Structure formats: structure tokens, C-alpha cells
Amino acid sequence: MSERKPRIAVDMDEVIADPLAKFIKLYNRDYDVPLDLKIEPGNEIAMHVPEHARLKIREYINEKGFFRDLDVIPDSIEVMKELQKKYEVFIVSAAMEFPNSLQDKHEWLADHFPFIGWQHIMFCGYKIVNTDIMIDDRIKNFVDYDGRKLLFTSPHNMLLTDYERVDTWRDVADKLL
């Protein structure tokens, strides 16, 4: 009997899909005020908009279609294809937080990552997964996770120093391939 490949859990938002660019586009459309693209380390995007617009960000993310046309994080497709040769790769997204995102995310993955089969896509609440490695931008998903944790850099986590960090998908390739 052959030994199983090591398993990797890969988050979607801010790891392979870019919701920040979409937030900025929608904000600029609705408020006609340029949003500063230089987001300070440690802050969420909501910290860069006037208080009256903070709830609008939550509205955007709950709209049907928000997740359907997000940009792909550079190099993620190519590196994920290579990872599949050595690992069993799972997409693990806390999509249940935003129920309207389920179909959008499924269709987005089919368009950009068709080589990830439906059996390897998990839309969940808490990311309680049995994998060897997790690549995520949110440390809350590392709580009670016993595997190797790779923190994918995003503005909100840039001040955190207690985790093994990957800034780009090229960094992921350097560490795992």
C-alpha cells in the first residue's frame, strides 16, 4: 500500500483571490474618493475609509457576485499546479460566514483552478482540517491546528512575527517544492 501524499489546506481570500482590489474598486465607484492603496501594516481595509463607509464594506462582501470576479493572486495558479505533484491540495475557505459567496467561490475556482477537483474544496465555518500544512492569512485559523502554519502576507497581518511567513506564491514554492 502506498503512503499518502502530505496534505495542504489553502485559504482563498487574500491567499489565492484578491478581495482587497475589489473593495477598493467598489469604494472608489461609490464614493468617488480615491482610497489610499498604501494600507498600513496591521490594519484592516476598514481602517482606511471614513466611519460612515465602514458598514459599506460589509455590504459589498455580502452581495451576490462579489466573489465571482476577484483577481487571482500572482503566481498562485502555477505554484498550485506544481504543489499537486507533491501534495494533496485542498482549498479550505470559511465561506459559510458569507453564504452568498458559496456559488461565486465555486465558479471562481472552476474558472481559475479547474485542476482542483470538487472533492478537494471545503467551504466551512471553522477550519478544522486534517492536513499537514495550512497556508492562510488569518491566524485565527491556526488556533488548535497542529500542522505547519504558513502565514500568507496581507496588510492586516504584517505586524505579526510569531509565524512562518510567505509573502508571495514564489515564497511558497521555495519552501514547499
Pick from 75, 98, 139: nearest CA to 152: 139
Would you name the residues annotated as active-site residues? 11, 13
Q: Is the dihedral of CA 69, 70, 75, 79 positive or negative?
A: negative
Whole-number Å distance between alpha carbons of 40 and 53: 18
What's the burial of 3, exposed, middle or buried (CB within 10 Å: 0-12/13-18/19+)?
A: exposed
Q: Is the dihedral of CA 90, 93, 99, 104 positive or negative?
A: negative
Q: How many CB atoms lie within 10 A of CB 40?
A: 12
Looking only at the bridges linking them, the beta strands covering 71-72 and 17-18 are antiparallel
Whole-number Å distance between alpha carbons of 174 and 177: 6
